[in-house]
A and B are shown apart, each in its own frame.
Chain A
Amino acid sequence: MAEETFEFTAKTKKNLFIFIAVGFVLTAIGIFMSMGGGGHHEVAEAAGHGAHDAAEAAGGGHGEFHWYQRLFANLWINNVFFAGVALVGVLFFAIQYAAQVGWSAGIKRIPLSFGAWIPFAGVLMLVTYFIAGHDIFHWTHSDLYLPVEEGGDKIISGKGAYFFWPLENGTFPIFFLGRMVIFFGVWYMLFNKLKSVAYEEDTVGGTEKWYKLRKLSAIFIIFFAVSSSMSAWDWVMSIDTHWFSTMFGWYNFASWWVSGLALTALIVVLLKDKGYLSIVNSNHIHDLGKFVFAFSIFWTYIWFSQFLLIYYANIPEETIYFVERWKNGHYAPLFYLNLGVNFFFPFLVLMTRDAKRHARFIKVVAPVVIVGHWLDFYLMITPGTLKENGGFGFLELGLMFVYAGAFVFVILNQLSKAPLYAKNHPMLEESLHHHI
């Protein structure tokens, strides 16, 4: 079989650069607009008492709202979202080996290439933390850890060790940052290992590399299971420091995972349109469509399980999370939109067999699902960091463009480095005859 290598043409690169430049311009406009102030004060008054209570409850050392806080919160949304998508790409690759999957032999290198973003995501996240951590994370404020009589916070003090151990509470969050560095380090190391063994298979052949990859995949999956959950607590849940949910790790994973699957399906379909991936037919697209369909439902299931328990139990320290999002006029429209684009839309559009088999439907549903889950992370992060000062405008859109453009650039660059599919994969023959 002929080898196929993706050619990262100058034209594609140029288009991506234009996309990123547009993102920067929009971001600049957005920053300029929020520097100008106005607007948000009136919105804050209209937002209802829920947001005010929340703002007061978490107020603590916060002073006035500054425009850069909105930029920081948006940087954090994109850091978390794209790091997660990069990671679940590698997870998809690993699962194919651990479960000894045959049908996906021809498309596995596409999700694998997402992993190339992991080092960038790690560096960006660390840098963002050092610049913006104090504005994003309430728990970084050292006066919270004073004795209660002196204005400290008993609940956050109790959680302090999770961030600061083995140092004193309220000093340098070495445990938190150590986890971040170790997680990104191990993810990147395992991604590199998986990638190099997978590429070696092209020259060696046989089944030896396949068995080696299976072993590495199992190690990655086990490490991922723990690290992805803890990342979700660290990077997202700790923003609402008082609040906690035992489903949060799963919830974040579900959101990342379905975005990663949608991106895989979208790239496969687009590459096929460009004349690559001759080994992929509508049966493979059907399977990818089923993944997007099924995991959209899975996300909804996890989302609703978390929501219903809190709604029904009605305990104030738990419901505050949804009061800030659902009962706050500021975020309520986005809260409903989140359910609409991430559940009803993919559920109804991809329900029939024909929709899953046709590239046209995938090209419509996958981008909506990807942007929808970006919105999901927006709804997790913004209300906790910006309270009633959050909004959705040029800044949000622009920064998302910048990150998305850079992310796509990195993964396409990775894709162009090796053949698009492994010609010596022991299951390639099975994948060719895949029929459902």
Chain B
Amino acid sequence: MAHTSNYILGVYDDEDVLLKAIKNVREGGVKIHEVYSPFPVHGIDDVLGYKRSRLTIVAFLFGLLGTSLALTMQFGMMTIDWPMIIGGKDYAPVPSFIPVTFELTVLLASFGMVGTFMIISNLKPWGKAKLFDKRITDDKHIMAIDLGNNQLEESAIDKLLKDSGASEVNKKTL
């Protein structure tokens, strides 16, 4: 990674404390870089103020692409390029095209969604994860605050985190 930043890390033991802390810290005027937790915390998107993911729109568009590809392929092969009568049906037997169309829609929607998710999350086999603290894979929640993105003094953020119930506050440069 080309550039590094200085982070303050608040460590929390309990998700209820964490949810309240996120609220307090944001109200205190601090921008949170990211919160890491070992399990999904219900309602965390709301307190972090995340907008709804647009991934569903991507899924819909990829699905639409799958539908049109499947129909183009089948009509191209069976109706235009080499018309054939199969089972006494005419050259454009739409009902028999539906299963393939359905499958390709689902396939492209899911592959497209997973692929998009991996790209926007920087999940590639050779990528290196930013690991702030090993304990986020076990029993601790970490709130990471990028010092470069905040106007507040380091000591003020430190105090804010401690007051909101952080069990420890660390510093890390990544």
Contacts of A307 in B (CB 8 A): 95
A-side binding surface: helix, strand, loop or mixed? helix
Q: How far is the CB of B64 from chain A (nearest CB, A)?
A: 12
Whether A308 lies near B56 (C-beta < 8 A) is: no
| B51 is an interface residue with CB less than 8 A from chain A | no
Instruction: Name the residue of chain B whose CB is nearest to the CB of A313.
Output: B87
Q: Given A307-B95, A308-B95, A311-B95: A351 and B60 within 8 A (CB)?
A: yes
The B52-75 residues at the A interface (CB cut-off 8 A) are: 52, 56, 60
How distant is the Cα of A304 from the Cα of B87 in the complex, in angstroms? Answer: 18
Instruction: Name the residue of chain B whose CB is nearest to the CB of A436.
Output: B42
Instruction: Name the residue of chain B whose CB is nearest to the CB of A307.
Output: B95
| B88 is an interface residue with CB less than 8 A from chain A | yes
Whether A312 lies near B96 (C-beta < 8 A) is: yes
Whether B60 lies near A304 (C-beta < 8 A) is: no
Whether A308 lies near B98 (C-beta < 8 A) is: yes
Give per-residue flags for A295-308: 1 if the beta carbon is below 8 A from chain B beta carbons, else 0: 00000000010011
Whether B87 lies near A308 (C-beta < 8 A) is: no
How distant is the Cα of A28 from the Cα of B89 in the complex, in angstroms? Answer: 45
| B49 is an interface residue with CB less than 8 A from chain A | no
Contacts of A352 in B (CB 8 A): 56
Interface size on A, residues (CB 8 A): 10
Instruction: Give the A-B contact count at a CB cut-off of 8 A.
Output: 21
How distant is the Cα of A351 from the Cα of B63 in the complex, in angstroms? Answer: 13
Whether B96 lies near A308 (C-beta < 8 A) is: yes
Whether B98 lies near A304 (C-beta < 8 A) is: yes
| A314 is an interface residue with CB less than 8 A from chain B | yes
Whether A435 lies near B99 (C-beta < 8 A) is: no
Interface magnitude class on chain B? 10 to 19
Give per-residue flags for B108-152: 1 if the beta carbon is below 8 A from chain A beta carbons, else 0: 000000000000000000000000000000000000000000000
How distant is the Cα of A312 from the Cα of B99 in the complex, in angstroms? Answer: 12
How distant is the Cα of A351 from the Cα of B56 in the complex, in angstroms? Answer: 10
Whether B42 lies near A435 (C-beta < 8 A) is: yes
Give per-residue flags for B28-66: 1 if the beta carbon is below 8 A from chain A beta carbons, else 0: 000000000000001100000000100010001000000
Contacts of B99 in A (CB 8 A): 308
Q: How far is the CB of A329 from chain B (nearest CB, A)?
A: 18
Q: How far is the CB of A367 from chain B (nearest CB, A)?
A: 26
| A353 is an interface residue with CB less than 8 A from chain B | yes
Contacts of B98 in A (CB 8 A): 304, 308
Instruction: Name the residue of chain A whose CB is nearest to the CB of B60.
Output: A351
Whether B60 lies near A312 (C-beta < 8 A) is: no
Contacts of B87 in A (CB 8 A): 312, 314
Instruction: Name the residue of chain B whose CB is nearest to the CB of A351.
Output: B60
Give per-residue flags for A308-319: 1 if the beta carbon is below 8 A from chain B beta carbons, else 0: 100110100000
Across the interface, A435 reaches (CB within 8 A) one of B43, B60, B89, namely B43
Q: Given A312-B87, A314-B87: A353 and B95 within 8 A (CB)?
A: no
Instruction: Name the residue of chain B whose CB is nearest to the CB of A311.
Output: B95
Contacts of A312 in B (CB 8 A): 87, 95-96
How distant is the Cα of A351 from the Cα of B59 in the complex, in angstroms? Answer: 12
Instruction: Name the residue of chain B whose CB is nearest to the CB of A326.
Output: B95
Q: Given A353-B56, A435-B43: A314 and B88 within 8 A (CB)?
A: yes
Q: How far is the CB of A51 from chain B (nearest CB, A)?
A: 21
Q: How far is the CB of B118 from chain A (nearest CB, A)?
A: 23
B binding-site residues for A, Cβ under 8 Å: 42-43, 52, 56, 60, 87-89, 95-96, 98-99
Q: Which 6 A-B pairs have the closest CB atoms?
A: A311-B95, A314-B88, A308-B95, A314-B87, A312-B96, A312-B87
8 contacts between A and B (CB under 8 A): A308-B98, A308-B99, A311-B96, A312-B96, A314-B89, A353-B52, A353-B56, A435-B43
Q: Besides A312-B96, A314-B88, A435-B43, 6 other CB < 8 A contacts? A: A307-B95, A308-B95, A308-B96, A308-B99, A311-B95, A314-B87
